Amino acid sequence: MLTYVISNINKSIAFEWLAIEINKSNKLKLCFILLNRNYTELEHFLISNGFEVFRIKYNGKKSIPFAIIKTTFLLIKQKTKIIHTHLFEANIIGLTAAFLARIPKRIHTRHHSDYHHIYYPNIVKYDRYINYLSTDIVAISIEVRNILINNEYVPDKKVHLIHHGFKLEDFNNNSQREVSLLIQKFNPRIQKPVIGVIARQTEWKGVQFIISAYKIFLEKYPESLLIMANATGDYKNEIHKLLLNIPAKNYIEIEFENDIFSLYRLFDIFTHVPISKSVEAFGQIYVEALASGIPSVFTLSGVANEFIINEQNALVVPYKNSDAIYNSWIRLINDKELCFNLIYKGKMDVKKYFSLKKSVKKHIKLYLE
């Protein structure tokens, strides 16, 4: 029995894809323990597709002791031989329970990079505790692998580089009806060009530099639209202060959109500009934007360091540089041949490096070793 323990996730296409593909392999029986306050879209999806799912009500730190006891009981009852935990609370609770239940293979995926080292150094000790309890660790990018080995002194043999995998064809299977519905919802005036952003409003995502670039962009393109999706986070107040300089008709914030595949089709240019090389652990947005065929402006962070090449599959700008972002947008608008080449090469590269089958194959190999 392989048991996944996942914390505080409402919906995740990545886990949906992974679950279905592992199940199709017929090599492992997979069940889930979800640590959440309430019933979620992920739970609904898993149950609907025949997976055994247990939800443990998790309301923060005070819930940890009970969650560990309950998880330990479930692991023993399910006769779990392999546990794979995802996200911080699931790592703490799931791996502690697995250790108590004497589960021989204890795996966690490291979904953050040097974030704790920079912003919350007091939390690093818990990362080290999680690393200690794990028999194996999945690093989702070379940046994460380097931090585990060089900064947290995890033995090299314990760390396995496995990129996220994507069902890439889903990014090009949108119906015109689905796209039209989102246009009516988010861009009813058919404003052009549309600058797309999908990023939490937290300081290190760099959204503030996009807004500063867009203020200049508006002078040249007063009928343009800035769409900011996933617009929640601890930097929201600062973002809203910057948006006071942008007319209300020229931007829209979207806290959550379920149809992410169709949302990409609304964008003429996509932009993602984290503020340092390693602040992103992976950066699914890089892969999604290129898979969707959207000409993109990036800074290099997380997995982008491994495959994004300036003027081949995207335009790369320096960190924290609004002028460079603006100039790249102007280039893309005025150079259709450049856009065509970036789109073509981008699709080829994500297909080469980030197929779902390749990722699942590596996961299964790790489980069965």
Q: Specify the CATH number for the domain of residue 208.
A: 3.40.50.2000
**pLDDT the model gives residue 258:** 86
Please, which pLDDT band fits residue 331 given cuts at 50, 70 and 90? Answer: very high
Number of domains in the chain: 2
Same domain, 216 and 87: no
Question: What is the rounded average pLDDT for all residues in the chain?
Answer: 96
Same domain, 256 and 278: yes
Same domain, 127 and 195: no
Same domain, 119 and 138: yes
CB atoms within 10 A of CB 140: 24
**Is 90 exceeded by the pLDDT of residue 176?**
no
Same domain, 40 and 142: yes
Instruction: Spell out the alpha helix ranges (H) of the chain.
Output: 13-25, 41-48, 64-77, 88-100, 115-119, 124-133, 142-146, 176-186, 207-220, 236-243, 260-264, 284-291, 304-307, 322-334, 336-353, 356-368
Contact 196, 271 (CB under 8 A): yes
Encode pLDDT of 195-215 as tens digits: 999 999 999 999 999 999 999
Same domain, 220 and 240: yes
Please, which pLDDT band fits residue 26 given cuts at 50, 70 and 90? Answer: confident
Q: Which of 364, 369, 15, 368 is nearest to 162 (CA)?
A: 364
Q: What is the DSSP string of 177-188?
A: HHHHHHHHHH-T
Please, which pLDDT band fits residue 149 given cuts at 50, 70 and 90? Answer: very high
Same domain, 187 and 291: yes
Same domain, 207 and 278: yes
More confident of the two residues 171 and 193: 193
Rounded CA-CA distance 351/346 in Å is 9
Encode pLDDT of 237-296 as tens digits: 999 999 999 999 999 999 999 899 999 999 999 999 999 999 999 999 999 999 999 999
What value does the CA radius of gyration of the chain take, rounded to a whole number of Å?
A: 21
Give pTM, 2 decimals. Answer: 0.92
Same domain, 328 and 253: yes
Same domain, 363 and 260: no
Q: Which of 258, 203, 208 is nearest to 228 (CA)?
A: 208
Rounded CA-CA distance 84/13 in Å is 17
**pLDDT the model gives residue 174:** 79
**Is 90 exceeded by the pLDDT of residue 140?**
yes
Same domain, 194 and 155: no
Same domain, 180 and 255: yes
Domain that holds residue 100: 2-165+355-368
